[in-house]
Structure 1
Amino acid sequence: MKKNLLILFVLLTLKGYCQWNNSGNNTSTGNLTLGGSFISTTTYGVKLEPVSGDAVIKRNNAGNLCISSGSGDSQIRFNYNYGGGSGGIMVYDGGVEHHGDFWVTNGQLNIAASARHVMIGSSTFSHKLTLAGDLALGLSGAVSTISGTSSSGAIQIKNDASNGGAANRYLRLGWRDNNAVFYPVMAITEDYKVGIGTTTPSHKLTVAGDVAFGLDGAISTISGTSSSGAIQIKNDPSVGGASNRYLRLGWKDNAALFTPVLAINEDMNVGIGTTTPDTKLTVKGVIHTNEVRVDMESPIQGPDYVFEKDYDLLSLAELEAYIKANKHLPEVPSAKEMAEDGLNLKEMNLLLLKKVEELTLHLIEANKKIDDLRNGLKETNSRIKN
């Protein structure tokens, strides 16, 4: 009796011409509807309506199998929010706002097909890919590369807990060619070292090559995060028609104000205590040192020529007349000249040595005269006694 009622129910729900067999295969050229009406002239399928709304499983004229909701703005759910739960998969069917969107496990993986966005761990998007949480690439020992579809910049990540007994984890930035060959430019190793131009940095920052700071007219400052020593570099090919490139070492205070201590200008002059050196080394202040060694270069020479027989030594009378007229020794700059032009220590030391040698000659000559006077005095005394 139950079997007959089931057959009668199936026959009443079939539309079109069909034959239902109790055993074997059954073929229908119409549609099978369970729980409601089904109108279709171009597709064949099965409609299910157990509670409210409807769902359709059908084959269209192109030969595709379609699973869809009956209305234009609803969802197809696979264990999504079934029985009060929040797990599962939900696909939006139709509608303007969520046309073709795909959600997995309560909004933890969302593909917004209508807006061309992918969201992981978030139900709202701000970019093409929005990720709420950490991202892990690759397995232990694997190298993961992120790059464009052809020759482009690339990121390479390796997680290798042991490589010949030593850890070998790194992050590298570089370039990938059309043959998928990766060329590293910068490397960050697991011991917190950064290499530019090398993948084996030996210090916190290792650069294999030149380093350029700043653009034309820009000032680059390298310093600590607070009051600290600092380096300032400026590359300015023309300021008022004149070059103005320099390297300065100094101090930066907490207000980011830089105070230069040493300056190296593009004319290869070095200044200590001044930023405008006019010689190879210009020092504004006192110099404290253990020793100063000065090279003697031609035409400057030691004043040994003073002791030559043909040297024209001024007499003491001539020297006295010059001093009375000029208030300083011959060849020695005056106090005014010293104040205006400063002193050349090498020339001054040689000049002082020359004056000492001239003075020595005068003393020798004076000593001869004293000896002559002493001898003459002895003779006079001897005659008086006799």
Structure 2
Amino acid sequence: MKHSILLALAFMMCLGLHAQTLYVPGNVQSSNNGNVGIGTQDPTATLHVNGDIAWGSSGSKLSPAGTIELKGAGTPYIDFSNSSADDFDARIMLKDDNKLGLTGANFGVGTNSPLSLLSIYKANVGTNTDGLDHSLLYLNNGNERDGSIVIKSHGAHKDEVIGALKFHSSPDALNYSQSAIKALANQDATANALAFYTASSNSQQEGTEVMRIQGDRIGILTPNPDAKLTVNGDIHAKEVRVDLNFPAPDYVFQPDYSLVPLVDVKKYIQENHHLSEVPSATEMEENGIDVASMNMLLLKKVEELTLYLIKQNEINQKQAEEIEALKERLLNLEQ
């Protein structure tokens, strides 16, 4: 018993616990191989405790179930160091606002060599690690094809943010601007929207929505796209190609095409103040124009105009020939 008490006392001193009272219930055992057991008669390690290990008065303890409970009114933390120096290389600390922080090291899941602040590996596949030393997050999905990051929300109202990826820039450490990609909830069975936000100044913290993908529709500068691509503003492009879903108007040049007499064209214009088949100014202002159909309609009118000019040229040529013949007859009569 004396030997057991001395061993227990040495153990308590090693833990740095300077208690005024040492109570030994009689279950501290020693073995022939120098191991010490508390709560066990067959210690298999230098110190083998069969039960909880508690310290202080706050309820901190180690449990045989594999749990570590750190409790206290201050900021409980665990330090890790690769040397015997007083400082630490990494620290896990619980702040008083229920925030758990890791400082001094990169954190790896599935890897012992995280290159980013947070590295998550399913498998370490690939060798190109350029830029990872200064990155915040690195995900390596190995040979699997679905490396999804899933953010799920239930019961969100229309246009409420389900999840977001935000980018902040602070040039003066006081103000900041934000660009963001936000997933927005929608109503009923309508698909959720993906909205893109950008800032126009260094102090515009929330940014302005500039583009939205809603189902199979994209809206630029509008939250309500009513076509595959809706742009509330100018479009500047080097080239625009439009596919036709109706025939081009070359049928105008077919022999059986019936060209409307000019007298009827004149009458229609006088009554309606626009060409036939062409929408009126009021209709175009209210409904806009379909670029493909309008271009084909204008081409049709140009082709019809060409036919009118050809016909008029034939008349003019015939009249010119008749005039020349009359001139010749008049000259012969004068002689």
Same fold (TM over 0.5): yes
Cα shift readout 1:180-214 (whole Å, capped 9, x = no counterpart): xxxx3x77614656235444684533433112235
- Identify which of 299, 320, 323 aligns with 1:374: 320
Distance 2:207 2:152 in 1: 17
What amino acid is aligned across from residue 192 of structure 2 in structure 1? R
Name the one with the larger strand percent.
1
Aligned to 1:49: none
Aligned to 1:243: 190
Instruction: Indicate whether 1:212 and 2:150 are aligned.
Output: yes
- Identify which of 215, 221, 235 aligns with 2:164: 221
Q: Tell which structure's C-alpha radius of gyration is larger.
A: 1
Distance 2:299 2:125 in 1: 60
Aligned to 1:326: 272
Q: How does 1:138-177 map to 2 (within 5 A)?
A: 171-173=107-109
Distance 2:80 2:262 in 1: 96
Aligned to 1:195: 120
- Identify which of 230, 241, 248 aligns with 2:180: 230
Does structure 2 retain, via aligned residues, the 8 Å contact 1:271–1:277? Answer: yes
Distance 1:309 1:333 in 2: 27
Distance 1:288 1:243 in 2: 31
Distance 1:273 1:199 in 2: 42
- Identify which of 66, 74, 80 aligns with 1:135: 80
Q: What is the aligned residue count?
A: 246
Q: What secondary structure sits across from 2:183 in the alignment? A: strand
Does structure 1 retain, via aligned residues, the 8 Å contact 2:178–2:206? Answer: no
Offset of 1:376 from its aligned partner? 0.6
Does structure 1 retain, via aligned residues, the 8 Å contact 2:184–2:192? Answer: yes
Cα shift readout 1:274-308 (whole Å, capped 9, x = no counterpart): 111100001111111111111223xx011110011
Distance 1:281 1:374 in 2: 56
Q: CA 1:270 to 1:188, structure 2 compared with 1: closer, same or farther past 3 Å? A: farther
Q: What secondary structure sits across from 2:20 in the alignment? A: strand
Q: CA 1:187 to 1:263, structure 2 compared with 1: closer, same or farther past 3 Å? A: farther
Q: CA 1:331 to 1:212, structure 2 compared with 1: closer, same or farther past 3 Å? A: same
Aligned to 2:214: 265
Does structure 2 retain, via aligned residues, the 8 Å contact 1:187–1:195? Answer: no
Q: What secondary structure sits across from 2:312 in the alignment? A: helix
The alignment's TM-score, normalised by the length of structure 2, stands at 0.62
Cα shift readout 1:320-356 (whole Å, capped 9, x = no counterpart): 1111111111100000110111000100000000000
Q: Which structure 1 segments of 5+ residues have no match?
A: 1-57, 68-75, 81-87, 96-109, 120-124, 140-168, 174-183
Does structure 1 retain, via aligned residues, the 8 Å contact 2:106–2:116? Answer: no
Aligned to 2:296: 350
Name the one with the larger helix percent.
2
Offset of 1:92 from its aligned partner? 3.4
Distance 1:242 1:261 in 2: 24
Q: What secondary structure sits across from 1:306 in the alignment? A: helix
Q: Report which stretch shifted further, 353-362 or 248-257.
A: 248-257
Offset of 1:248 from its aligned partner? 1.0
Tell me how large the CA RMSD over aligned residues is.
Answer: 3.9
Distance 1:77 1:335 in 2: 100
What amino acid is aligned across from residue 210 of structure 1 in structure 2? S
Offset of 1:251 from its aligned partner? 1.5
Offset of 1:250 from its aligned partner? 1.8
What amino acid is aligned across from residue 120 of structure 2 in structure 1? G
What amino acid is aligned across from residue 211 of structure 1 in structure 2? I
Distance 1:187 1:345 in 2: 59
Q: CA 1:89 to 1:365, structure 2 compared with 1: closer, same or farther past 3 Å? A: closer
Aligned to 1:281: 229
